[in-house]
Amino acid sequence: MPFRILIAIVLSFAGAMTVQASDVLEIRPFLEAHCLKCHGGDETKGDVDFSEIKTMTEADRHPDLWETVAIVLEEGEMPPKKATSRPSDAEKQAVLNWIENDFFGEIESMPGVFKPRRLSGPEYRNTMRSLFGFDLEVSIAEAEQTVAEKSLVLKLLPTDPPGASGFVNDTHTARISTTIFDQYSYLADFALEELFSNKRKAELAALVGSNLGKELTAEQARQLMKNFTQKAYRRPFPKEKMTKILANMDGKSGNDLIAVLKTEMKTVLMSPGFLYRGHLNKSDPEKNRQPVDDFEFAERLSYFLWEDAPDEELFSFAASRDLTRKTITLEWQIDRMLKSPKSRSLAESFGSQWLLLDQIKHDRKDPPNLHALQTQPLDFLHYLFTKDRPVMELID
């Protein structure tokens, strides 16, 4: 099954699944003609037995099997080339269409409990970079034998421990300690001071959306806050909060206006709306389950593929509600995002947490070769994901 389809299936379900369909198994004739000889009755190669799967009810019990069927059909691995009867391309495509549209397409999402997750260290670093337009870095003297962390975020924030699922981005139970809160405060101040410095005029103008003069005008300040808050919250900013912010800015100019902007922008950076992923609902999530809205869907997609906030294009499709209404739009966005350099984060996250590639830097003592030892397997993983290659290539 294509990687983008699996992504859409995983991200669009908020909870458990039910299948509603006719009990007639449309592909049963295909199974009888091309599969049962090796995968049915007394002879079941690969522990795959289709003999008892005669209805949709029985097919529903084996979702993993149909994913495998889709993969081997697409790769031309099954039926084997030596088989006396091989299906036509049209017959294979009909089965693939059934798997994608009739089997998985009939799955109905049931809103489940999804608790907001605090941004992990890498997610926070990337989100701040996308929000401000520059990295928060420390100045270091480099040498060939030196491996130093440039990111101020990763130097200050503690390493996230694995959550209940075993992944470091499973942070819904991770509390914000006083120490971490102080680090967030320092990072926010650092970023805002740099944003309003002379060397970041271009980045500030990009956030405002217009060319800047010697001083920020009142209208530019208002536009800056509107753009900044929406990007930071990754969804429309509450109108009542924006009204209060704009009221605090009224009548201010020059340094006084900059001071108010820094205060209000820091408040946003320290708020749960920025520091957490997921819709923040004050009611009990167990009692008030809701389907995933387009903005949260876009957020899940971008943090899965990029470990970063949705970009302007993805956000615009979320605002138009096309992500959840139009499958072709979703697939198009997944393809676009996988082609982005940001998608390397997927390989880095998978490689470090599943394949333990981050242990190389602890086990090796030769920095000149360390970069190659770390990047070569990551290059392969990136190729695997972006070119939609079979996962079996990891071991074969």
184 vs 356 pLDDT, higher one: 184
Highest mean pLDDT among 295-299, 361-365, 372-376: 295-299
Which residues neighbour 114 within 8 Å (Cβ) at sequence distance 6 or greater? 14, 15, 278, 285, 292
- Is the pLDDT score of 316 beyond 90? yes
pLDDT (tens digit per residue) in 325-358: 877 788 899 999 999 999 999 888 888 777 777 7
Highest mean pLDDT among 21-25, 280-284, 320-324: 320-324
Handedness of CA 37, 43, 45, 46 (dihedral sign): positive
Task: Identify any residues that bridge with 151 across adjacent strands, giving them in sequence order.
Answer: 137
- Please give the pLDDT value at position 136: 93
- Please give the pLDDT value at position 15: 43
92 vs 338 pLDDT, higher one: 338
Predicted TM-score of the model (pTM): 0.72
- Is the pLDDT score of 14 beyond 60? no
- Please give the pLDDT value at position 252: 93
- Is the pLDDT score of 25 beyond 90? no
219 vs 102 pLDDT, higher one: 219
Q: Return the H-helix or E-strand segment holding 8.
A: helix 3-12
- Please give the pLDDT value at position 146: 44
Phi (first) and psi of residue 87, to 5 degrees: -70, 155
14 vs 132 pLDDT, higher one: 132
50 vs 264 pLDDT, higher one: 264
pLDDT tier at 54, thresholds 50, 70, 90: confident
Q: What does the alpha-carbon distance between residue 324 and residue 318 come to, in Å, rounded to a whole number?
A: 8
- Is the pLDDT score of 74 beyond 50? yes
User: Please, are residues 314 and 301 in contact by the beta-carbon 8 Å criterion?
Assistant: yes
Strands 276-277 and 117-118: antiparallel
pLDDT tier at 21, thresholds 50, 70, 90: very low
Q: What does the alpha-carbon distance between residue 23 and residue 172 come to, in Å, rounded to a whole number?
A: 40
- Is the pLDDT score of 76 beyond 60? yes
Q: What does the alpha-carbon distance between residue 234 and residue 128 come to, in Å, rounded to a whole number?
A: 12
- Please give the pLDDT value at position 287: 61
Instruction: Give the tokens for residue 188.
Output: 């926010």
- Please give the pLDDT value at position 128: 97
For the beta carbon of residue 340, count every other beta carbon within 10 angstroms.
14
Quickly list H helices, 110-177: 121-132, 152-156
- Is the pLDDT score of 294 beyond 80? yes
pLDDT (tens digit per residue) in 107-120: 555 556 667 788 98
Q: What does the alpha-carbon distance between residue 308 and residue 126 come to, in Å, rounded to a whole number?
A: 5
